[in-house]
Structure formats: C-alpha cells, structure tokens
Amino acid sequence: MPFPLFTIIVTIMNEYTIIIAFDDEAQKWYAENDEIPILLEDYSIDTLINRVKLAAPELLELNNMPHTGIHLIFKMESEAVLM
C-alpha cells in the first residue's frame, strides 16, 4: 500500500512591529520602526497606516532586505502624566 503524498507549503514571513503614537504637541500621529527603517507622520491614523503599508516594502528593497511576504504588526503606544 503506497503512502499518501502530502505537500506542505511553508511561507516564511518577515515580521516588523510598527509603533504608532500620538504627538500631543504637533497634533500628529507618527509611526516608526528601526529595522526597516521608517518614520512617518500624519494627521490621520488611517492615512498613516496606509502610508506605512506602501512605504515599508519599498524601503526594505532599497536597503537590500527581503521585501516580499512581510507582516506588519501595528502597536499603539500611549503615555499619560497624571497629577
């Protein structure tokens, strides 16, 4: 009896965590990651995320890093000073 034939496809994704924070003084959102490297800002968080999605692969390619199959993880940081 022959063994069943299984095909396993493994996709290796390069993960990058993008930190998103709001600058109260400038009244803008910014996104940054040192690995890519990227630092963008915008008044709209939705526009900012879309800009990162477009710019990240291009910046990776320009830096001779794998630029396909990337996984961007967006994390929001918040700070508060309570008195």
Residue-wise pLDDT for 10-26, tens only, equals 556 799 999 999 998 99
Quick check: is 72 in a domain? yes
Enclosing domain of residue 51: 14-76
Quick check: is 69 in a domain? yes
Quick check: is 55 in a domain? yes
pLDDT band at residue 1 under the 50/70/90 scheme: low
Number of domains the chain is built from: 1
**pLDDT at position 17, please?**
95
Quick check: is 81 in a domain? no
> For residue 4, is pLDDT > 80?
no
* Contact indicator for 31, 48 with CB cutoff of 8 Å: yes
Residue-wise pLDDT for 20-70, tens only, equals 999 989 999 999 999 999 999 999 999 999 999 999 999 999 999 988 889
- How many whole angstroms separate alpha carbon 40 and alpha carbon 34? 12
CATH of the domain at 41: 3.30.2390.10
